Structure 1
Amino acid sequence: MNRADTIIAPATASGEAGIAIVRISGADSLSALLRFFKPSVKHPKLDSHRLYHGFLRDRSENVVDEVMAVYMAAPHTYTREDVVEIQCHGGQQIVKSILDLYQSIGLRLAEPGEFTYRAYMSGRLDLSQAEAVSRLIHAKTDSSRKLALKQMDGALSREIYSFTSQLKNILVLAEAWIDFPEEDLPAENIAEFFSVLTNIKSKIQIITNSYTCGRVLSEGASILLVGQPNAGKSSLLNALLGEDRAIVTDIPGTTRDFLEEGITIDGVPVSLVDTAGLRESRDLVEAEGIRRTEQKLALADLVLLVVDSSRPADDLDYSALDYCVGLPTFVVFTKMDKTIKRDLHCFKDFPSYEVSSKTGAGLDQLKSGISSFLMADYIENSETVLLTERRHYDALYGCLEPVNRALVSCCDTDSLELLAFDVREALYFLGQISGETTTEDILDDVFSGFCIGK
């Protein structure tokens, strides 16, 4: 991305709306605006951060649109460059005409995420905060919105900068003593190194342990409904959704492929996946559905093993149970509105819930159990940083290894060179999160996921 260009892009989604916003950023923002913007009230100049009414007129003085325009002078802008925003009517043709007008005088259409990229390059945001901008835009639940806002506000960044600052202090002292090998490193310095590294290790482990919960809150959890045919999986799916989405019949094998639907349970986004009944089948389509179910089991955040409580458990139930061994599983006994004939003994190793998809009995308890399991001991108002990005998790996990080695080196004053090497490696991993040591490939990958105009 060429940061010397002045760029332009729609900052609002395409389509028909009451208003749309066109954003311009770069050194020529103000002069470009004034080429076509004619304020209703004449001023010698446009004051920064004030909204002006006027008209956009093309080279032939034809009115393009009646607009409101604001000029924002650097550095008090999103990109820390001069920025202009034009509020126009929200028709697609109007926005296109404005873009064409300004591109005709040399402004370049922004690439996806380029405004945020410039904010990152100018130091207004670090890389983790820039990623949070994308998360915020794509947030589909209140929980994911709150997590993105915390990260944008710098919750993770402050932790990373704290670790970085402490490690740099250790590195400076270690390298100073390496330069003077005839001197012995004071024992109190070694003790301080060990204490700081131990504290950093502990905090990193707490943060990395939050990744599963953070990912679920941000991206959602996958819950797989499995069991033998006619156990009540599709009825349970419909009951949890509150609408009829899956076909329900008395004929075994109705569901032959995945049926996936999204809901929110106690603020947690959840994808419910109804699957083909687990059994031997000569039907090629049903058999393929069963094979796919087996593959998807290992990827689920939670498995609901659905068992018909109106009849004794049989070999098909036991076979389905075998698939769930070692996986996070709830046993859901369905058809509780009928005469109960189930056998609890074989399912005693798993949490169990009793429901009736017909009457709704037990559904609230099941939903509460799902929410509690997915959130573990997460408290909404907790100050603990929750990781939502796999990239951040990998970087912090990678940081732990050199920190552990550095702790070992602290016990041997003859290993200061190794200590310094390990601290540098730990700093490299932390820099992957903040962007200090990030490669161009990673930057391209991060910002390519943005929409044009942000």
Structure 2
Amino acid sequence: MQGSTIAAIATPPGAGGIAVVRLSGAESYAVAARVFHPANPAKKVEQAKGYTALFGHFVDREEAFDEGVALFFRAPHSYTGEDVVELSCHGGSAVARRLVEACLAAGAQPAAPGEYTRRAFLNGKLGLTQAEAVMDLISADGRQGAALANAALGGALAKKINAQKAQLTALQAHLAAWVDFPEEDVPELDPAHLRTVLGAVREELDGLIRSYDAGAVLREGVDCAIVGRPNAGKSTLLNLLAGFDRAIVTPVAGTTRDVVEQAVQLGDIRLNLFDTAGLRETEDAIEAEGIRRSWKKLEEAGLILAVFDGSEPPSREDLALAQRCAGRPAIALVNKEDKPTQFDAELIAPYFAMVLPVCCREEGSRKVIAAAVARLLGTGSIDPHAASLSGQRQLSAALRARDAAAGALDAAAGGFGLDAVSVCVDDALDALCDLTGENASEAVIEQVFERFCVGK
């Protein structure tokens, strides 16, 4: 509840140097005074100024159980816009839990997931796109993904969208005056100016939409299926990308019988790797089930690394695999480059975005594969400091706004009249307001913050 004072551990679970328990709400200072006693008796928690710190002891029913630091933030100059106190105790689950329990006993309520950031949004400290960027920044694994989230947190997307809204609002004001008040002799819009404004808005939104997939890969990673015939080198490739022996590698065909999963960081991209069973005809029921799962994983993956044995001519299974990869984000890796080549890569080239000769036992191949993956997924061309869309909610709103702007252009070109153009511009503005959160319903806000962790 917005009016209550909330408490939660704001640091990850487990042992560490410190743990931070955060209080936010009108009674934060009063609650803190009941659980924290400054080492200097002359200092009073209730009188602490914002952006100051006190050293002291944490108490539970007047029993001191730890020592640490209290940081104070006065409303509205805090993360949430409310009075905030952050209590830093020694890291460890038992101490942090006891401090939270003491805060709850002193009058605080448990914080819900994302409640601190939700209050920051409701109190006007953050826009909705900035609030969404908070969780993206927390969950980012790669440097570029973190930079994209930080740019959104700094307002890059909000500024770009607000610029498009300003152009459309000025256009709509003129259109509304001309349509609604014909007796006032309002000058009709210059058709060239109308096309220029609508075209520019559509192009800006198009650019955001085109870069969405690559941005999502940088922020969230991508599921990657490693597929190929038995002994082509799939498990060796998994171990190369993982940097350690994650999968068992033997000369025996069919060693991998189930999907082996491993998350790795390949350059700026997190790959959720799935090493699959070798694709071949078999009467072994267990191996056949593994192969069925391999095909299923291939269909679901956002990236396919198809491994072929370069020391042997292409087989019927190789060609069948290549055909299954047609039209998919797939790279063919012709393995065993260190041996005499027997594989005719031209037979499979039409089905792949690129074909690379590699040796999955050599570290140098990792860099070659990383560069190819970045090129295929478009992550290498992204400016990590530019505005970008994050999540299906933002993408859906941008698509609706782009389509409405395109509809306004079509209405103007088709001679449907400026009233029809005005309706489309209204739709575009509504979609942009949905994107930035100005029109956000309670259900949308719930959806945004339900993926947050407790303490943030």
Q: Structures share a fold, TM > 0.5?
A: yes
> Which of 107-116 and 340-349 deviates more?
340-349
Instruction: Tell me what 2:211 maps to.
Output: 210
Instruction: Tell me what 1:16 maps to.
Output: 15
SS, match of residue 223 in structure 2: strand
SS, match of residue 157 in structure 2: helix
Instruction: Tell me what 2:309 maps to.
Output: 308
Instruction: Tell me what 1:375 maps to.
Output: 378
Deviations 1:330-383 (A, max 9, x none): 2211122223222233123342222223455644323322232223551546x5
SS, match of residue 300 in structure 2: coil
Q: How far 1:147 moved relative to its partner? A: 1.5
Query: In the aligned structure 2, how far is the partner of 1:331 from the partner of 1:62?
Result: 66
Residue type of the partner of 1:213?
Answer: A
Deviations 1:128-178 (A, max 9, x none): 111111111122222222111111011111111111222222222222222
Q: Aligned to 1:393, which of 395, 403, 428?
A: 395
* Shift in alpha-carbon separation, 1:139–1:284, aligned structure 2, 3 A: same
Instruction: Tell me what 2:358 maps to.
Output: 355
1:172-183 matches, cutoff 5 A: 172-182=173-183
Extract unaligned runs of 5+ from structure 2. none
Query: In the aligned structure 2, how far is the partner of 1:239 from the partner of 1:58?
Result: 52
Asked whether the 8 Å contact 2:225–2:275 carries over to 1, the reply is: yes
Residue type of the partner of 1:396?
Answer: A
* Shift in alpha-carbon separation, 1:96–1:244, aligned structure 2, 3 A: closer
Q: How far 1:407 moved relative to its partner? A: 1.6
Provide the identity percentage.
Answer: 37
* Shift in alpha-carbon separation, 1:29–1:325, aligned structure 2, 3 A: same
Q: How far 1:199 moved relative to its partner? A: 0.4
Deviations 1:108-129 (A, max 9, x none): 1111110100000011111111
Instruction: Tell me what 1:113 maps to.
Output: 114
| Number of matched pairs | 451
Instruction: Tell me what 2:194 maps to.
Output: 193
Deviations 1:184-222 (A, max 9, x none): 653444433322111010010011100111011111123
Q: How far 1:227 moved relative to its partner? A: 1.9
Query: In the aligned structure 2, how far is the partner of 1:340 from the partner of 1:131?
Result: 50
Tell me whether 1:170 sits opposite 2:171 in the alignment.
Answer: yes
Asked whether the 8 Å contact 2:31–2:107 carries over to 1, the reply is: no
> Which of 76-85 and 405-414 deviates more?
405-414
Instruction: Tell me what 1:126 maps to.
Output: 127
Residue type of the partner of 2:187?
Answer: P
Query: In the aligned structure 2, how far is the partner of 1:413 from the partner of 1:370?
Result: 47
Q: How far 1:100 moved relative to its partner? A: 2.5
Instruction: Tell me what 1:37 maps to.
Output: 36
Residue type of the partner of 1:137?
Answer: I
Residue type of the partner of 2:198?
Answer: L
Residue type of the partner of 1:327?
Answer: R
Query: In the aligned structure 1, how far is the partner of 2:58 from the partner of 2:311?
Result: 72
Asked whether the 8 Å contact 1:356–1:363 carries over to 2, the reply is: no
Q: How far 1:294 moved relative to its partner? A: 2.2
RMSD: 2.3
* Shift in alpha-carbon separation, 1:364–1:32, aligned structure 2, 3 A: closer
Q: How far 1:58 moved relative to its partner? A: 4.5
* Shift in alpha-carbon separation, 1:198–1:316, aligned structure 2, 3 A: same
Deviations 1:306-337 (A, max 9, x none): 22121221212111222112223222111222
Residue type of the partner of 2:373?
Answer: I
Instruction: Tell me what 1:76 maps to.
Output: 77
Asked whether the 8 Å contact 2:34–2:106 carries over to 1, the reply is: no
Asked whether the 8 Å contact 2:58–2:68 carries over to 1, the reply is: yes
Deviations 1:383-430 (A, max 9, x none): 542333222112111212211111233347863333232222212222
Asked whether the 8 Å contact 2:178–2:187 carries over to 1, the reply is: no
* Shift in alpha-carbon separation, 1:47–1:229, aligned structure 2, 3 A: same
SS, match of residue 453 in structure 2: coil
Q: TM-score, normalised by structure 1?
A: 0.92
Query: In the aligned structure 2, how far is the partner of 1:98 from the partner of 1:339?
Result: 66
Deviations 1:26-74 (A, max 9, x none): 1122222223433233146222211012233445x33243232122111
Asked whether the 8 Å contact 2:336–2:359 carries over to 1, the reply is: yes
Instruction: Tell me what 2:26 maps to.
Output: 27
Q: How far 1:278 moved relative to its partner? A: 2.1
Query: In the aligned structure 1, how far is the partner of 2:366 from the partner of 2:109?
Result: 55
> Which of 388-397 and 90-99 deviates more?
90-99
* Shift in alpha-carbon separation, 1:376–1:102, aligned structure 2, 3 A: closer
Query: In the aligned structure 2, how far is the partner of 1:447 from the partner of 1:162?
Result: 26
Tell me whether 1:97 sits opposite 2:94 in the alignment.
Answer: no
Q: How far 1:180 moved relative to its partner? A: 1.1
Instruction: Tell me what 2:449 maps to.
Output: 447
Asked whether the 8 Å contact 1:213–1:386 carries over to 2, the reply is: no
Query: In the aligned structure 2, how far is the partner of 1:200 from the partner of 1:33?
Result: 50
Residue type of the partner of 1:453?
Answer: G
SS, match of residue 14 in structure 2: coil
Instruction: Tell me what 2:3 maps to.
Output: 4
Asked whether the 8 Å contact 1:309–1:340 carries over to 2, the reply is: yes
